[in-house]
Structure 1
Amino acid sequence: MKILVAVKRVVDHKVNIRVKPDETGIETANVKMVINPFCEIAIEQAVRFKEQGSADEVVLVCIGPKEAEAQLRAGLALGADRAILIRTEEEVQSLDVAKLLHKVVQQQLPDLVLLGKQAIDTDNNQTGQMLAALTDMPQGTFASDIVFTVPNKVKVTREVDGGLVTLALHLPAVITVDLRLNTPRYASLPNIMKAKRKIITMISPDSLGVSLSPRLTTLKVESPPVRQAGVKVADVADLVDKLQLQAKVI
């Protein structure tokens, strides 16, 4: 079994995000970039399946600039076998990402495609669903548990607002993973060294026959308003007075 895992390069969630002076987006120059945390969970799950003997090969695919090779190396150090970088300097929106992944799926013919349920930068939660539609594969989103049952079938437990939903999917399938599926491991030093020798194939969107044509335009990106400092009150009577007369909430 071959598992294809989509990986997105994002700004580290620990970094203090700054908006560009011209308000066209966030500042990414000289900012630490990492694997999207949800994608890291997908990599971990694919590697676990390989360790259990359920999978033979784990292939990573990322869309981004040449610098995204660093994130792919990090994924290879976690246990993936090889990687594909679709190199582009352009901003790629969800539908074009799904179209590029669709072409890769047609070439690689994976038995299972794993993605993070969303990226922490755009939070669109669209690519997995779009990819399933393009490939005409069954899909399971927000997966908190994935179990292979009979041959060519997988059971997916989904987290929804009302609780848990269990689906039985025929392979090949597309699954997007949620936080509670697993806890990603830390890459060991020997695996980091081995990752340097693993293959990363670089291709272009043009070679896949996909034209990157943004359908959405960002008008402006603004920082959230600065939170106002709180006020200390002397006693309960003072608190009630301020809630009544100033905040007008009671």
Structure 2
Amino acid sequence: VNVKLFGLIVLLSSWLLAVKYAAGGVCQSAATLAGKTVLITGANTGIGKETALDLAMRGARVIMACRDVEKGEEAAASIRAANPKAQVEVRELDLADTCSIRAFAQKFLREVDDLHILVHNAGVMMCPYTKTVDGFEMHIGVNHLGHFLLTYLLIGQLKHSAPARIVVVSSLAHNFGWIRFHDLHSQGSYNSGLAYCQSKLANVLFARELARRLKGTERHTPINKHADHGTTDI
């Protein structure tokens, strides 16, 4: 099967499933989050920005972790324009660089006392073959490994702030993926669609295993959430 054609089929199938599942998917809850601190990666656009807006409207302190700080500040300004009382702040985080992730976490732990909700939203999709600063294929490096490291570094604070929640934004595209342990970083062959699907499957497996390990420990709830690609700029 032509790999480019397969990638196109995967993308189209994911989009059709997204349209089906997204219908009527608007949250109707009136719950407030006053006193809660939320960290959202990739919050400057798309799903991340809309999530930041909604949670800020509910009274949460929202920390927007963005690779592009300028775009993050623009997004934060638009949220403040919609709600002048919104507690939003922007911090720099590049999930393609483990040094950036560690520096972010170190500063976060030093300056922020609690963390109640961690939303792993940032991601790349079907990009040309590139590697992260540390040599990982970009999809698996950013979408999975970067968020894995961030969770590892912040899990202590999440436990301290329990009850806490970890949300992993995945995709129905995970149904078309498999973990290529023999060539995890696509050095032998590369297809952007398959690389994306693999990273989304890794998200799902990570969330499931995390939920298993945290079950019964201080009320942590890891959640998988499908991303409707009709609402994101990826």
What TM-score comes out, normalization by structure 1 length? 0.39
What TM-score comes out, normalization by structure 2 length? 0.41
The structure with the largest alpha-carbon Rg is 1
Structure with the largest fraction of helix: 2
